[in-house]
Chains A and B, each alone.
Chain A
Amino acid sequence: MKKYQLTIVFLGLIFMQGYGQGRGEDLLPEIEIGFKTITTGNYFSNKGTPSLNIPVLNEGERTISDFSDSYFMIGARQKLYKGWRGQMVLGFSFPDANTGLGQVFYNQIMVRIENKKNIITIGRTTTQTTLGSFTTFRDDDVMQFNYILNPFSSGINTEDNQYANVLEYTRIFKNRLYVTLHGENYQSFSNPNDYSLNGIGGSIVYRVPESQVWKREIIKEIGVSSVNFDIENPNSPGSNTYLSNLASYVALNIHPDPVHFVDFKLMNITNFGIDGISDITSYDDYTRSKSQSFFGMVRYLNRKLERPNYQISLGGGYKSLPEINGGANQYVLISNMFYRIGNNFDLLVQYRYHENRGELTPLLGKSQHRFQVGLSFSFNKIFNNQFDDRNSILNLEHGYIK
């Protein structure tokens, strides 16, 4: 029996039903529109034939046109009584081909209320399976190293790891320390119609607001996050157990210079695993066995006239699964460049090499070289702006206005 019977659907009914507001002029909320179109030409050169059914991993060479990870979002925010603010976001993205998610995936359908010290989020949104973000083309470019992997996923799409139906509460201390408790319903391949909470966790993150990046503090962000999946215990059929993961992350301002900016980000993920998994015979084994992964990335950002000009990043990751008989590990090297060719418009070039070793080879293939060249156009605009962000300089340094 599940430990959490409170379902997202039930809560949704309570919160979304709403009340009549009486006669009067509706207050037009702030409306935000944002989109990113990222289109690349990808060249793959693969070795090994994976059992995981992902076409771009198949042995051989191929070139494809890729617009995945492009998204469109629309949101609305408005002031509530007693210093609170309410927000809704509706967004969709375009997943990789043949991932079972269709042409369009609704990755954001959520409502959030917040005040100066509290944030409550309900709905489908980005999960706490990663901390911070790395400057790769797409969020999932090194997902096996910088995301806690969803053990309910079939592995053929990456969205299963990034998004879930969440209940999340965050308490903010001194504007910078975010303590979050959360429960999620992760998409389950084997039981897609189960909306019960199947994940629970918490995180503590110290984060310097973006508006204060030029304070030149060495630590820009540091935090830990625990995600625990409520899964069936293979060692005791009929009962459940927790699969626990712990992620830790640090972002360091190595050279916080307005023109020549250098930072370094490092993430470690420890999967405490399920006892008794000693072979990789399926994707479940891969996500549920004990593992340690590290991913680090150094970035140089050149800014010209107070705007990004170009950016070069170099990263590497290593993951080992120590309890797998015969050994299993993988590593990745990645490097990319963004060059600004106009407002919001970037030219992109990225190379990635990924190698799987030992018992991972039958599942994921042996290795892959990937070259990508493309263009990205991203934009966001708030219309009818009527209040400030919690992290603006005015609110942080000159008195917070509710």
Chain B
Amino acid sequence: MDRRDFIATGALSTAGMIFFPGNLLAKESKELLKTKFPQPLPFKQDGEWKEFELYVDVKIQEPAPGFSFHTLAFNDMVPGPEIRVNYGDKVRVKFKNKSKLNHTIHWHGMHVPWRMDGVPMVTQLSVMPNNEFIYEFEAKPIGTHFYHCHWGTVLHMQAGMFGSLIVEDPNDTIKKQFPYEREYTLIYSAHDVNFIRQEMNRMLERMDERSYLMSKGRFDHERWAVFNNHDQLNESIKNGWEPPYALNRRAPAGIPQADWFTVNGKSYPDTPYLFIKSGENIRVRLINAGAEIHNLHLHGHDFWMVADDGIPIPQPWKRNTVPLTPGKTYDIIIEGNNRGIWTFHDHDTRKVTNNGLYPGGNLLALVYEDLPEDELIISKYSGNPMYKNTGMNMNSNMKSMLMGDDKLPKIALDE
């Protein structure tokens, strides 16, 4: 291949990188899809307690084919497994820290006893490496909530330590108003993968050193930057101790700037599909476990806003775009009244990117299962005469060469 051929080939493959997702409705596709939603966490009944087990460790996550980064994962998953309980259940979560970093678990939106709230140095000491902590609480209030690490949250949350917590209401008013059989959980997050990598490396190095000193009983509050009160802090500064935000900073100087955006730990083209049928209602639980606002817009439909932070909305209203702010949960009901394949995406399109390149990130689709197969054929319903089926072999060959299979949808990675 000479130089000219090399350039031509490179340009073609960059501009027209197209892959074929196969049949969305095939059995294999649906099986694969199950792995793209939070996995249910099984429990053991111990008397009146539903006992769950969570652990955390470092794991490599591949948000989209061809790109991986190290994460902190509950039970080897990002997001962590879904805890689903009934209102009033006694919940016990045995949390084991298999990583070399400190952690806690905060139950976001839950009314737990304050000592179970998981805020380090406020409600508990951190769960140190190879240690366990047992959280016990009563499942209330009802609705869509989530859990996340509350230690070093700038790193630990965007590194993957979050999962959904659903408290079901036996007399669910939403289900009565909008009868549904299927529901989906979508957990949004945003990641500065460079910050995660640098900061996790530094934390792991520090913890190797600290663990050694702890084992020898030589760890102290100045080294840890943890003080009993302001007097102790002021006294240390007076004696020459420098706070880490001054001259001894430990983390990168910049505030993280997210460059990957995920739904259930995946970015387009690996984001999950939402399946629906004509005439069916589906419930979608939206959770923002990241630090960015996501303005979620559904094409071709208005959806019902039915719960805000888990709390049922007495008089649901319709909209087609909702700003999902950090820490927020919304439940929406989508009515299957417009057959097709409809994208559901962040309308801040800076977040529909992977490492700055559109399309990617928070882009997924609502897919009607009863969509006739022939509506997927490009040439059959195309508004572009070029793609209409003229019966001429030459055109078919050209189309095939340009577009691959005569079928939608496709995966486009560079528009």
Contact = CB atoms under 8 A, between A and B. Distances in A.
A393 B7 contact: no
Nearest to B204: A393
A19 to B, nearest CB: 6
**B interface SS class:** helix
Contacts of A238: none
Nearest to B14: A24
A398 interface: yes
Contacts of B10: 21-22
Given A20-B7, A216-B212, A259-B218, A394 B247 contact: no
B206 A343 contact: no
Contact of B68 (A19, A22, A386, A401): A401
Contacts of A23: 11
Contact of A401 (B6, B70, B209, B222): B70
Contacts of A307: 248
Given A24-B14, A306-B223, A401-B60, A211 B247 contact: no
B11 A306 contact: no
Nearest to B58: A398
Given A211-B205, A306-B206, A386-B194, A22 B70 contact: no
Contacts of A394: 58, 70, 197, 200-201, 204
A253 B200 CA distance: 26
Contacts of A259: 213, 218
A392 interface: yes
A393 B204 CA distance: 7
Interface string B205-235: 1101100110000100011000000000000
B201 A388 contact: yes
A385 B247 contact: no
Interface string A177-212: 000000000000000000000000000000000011
Contact of B201 (A21, A22, A211, A257): A211
Contacts of B58: 394, 398
Give the contact-size bracket for chain B.
20 to 34
A402 to B, nearest CB: 8
A399 B176 CA distance: 49
Given A306-B206, A398-B70, A401-B60, A392 B201 contact: yes
Contacts of B248: 305, 307, 343
A19 B3 contact: yes
Nearest to A343: B247
B209 A399 contact: no
Given A216-B212, A306-B206, A393 B11 contact: no
A259 B198 CA distance: 24
Interface of A: 19-24, 211-212, 214-216, 257-259, 305-307, 342-343, 385-388, 392-394, 397-399, 401
16 contacts: A19-B6, A21-B7, A21-B10, A22-B7, A258-B213, A307-B248, A385-B194, A386-B194, A388-B197, A392-B197, A392-B201, A393-B208, A394-B58, A394-B201, A398-B58, A398-B59
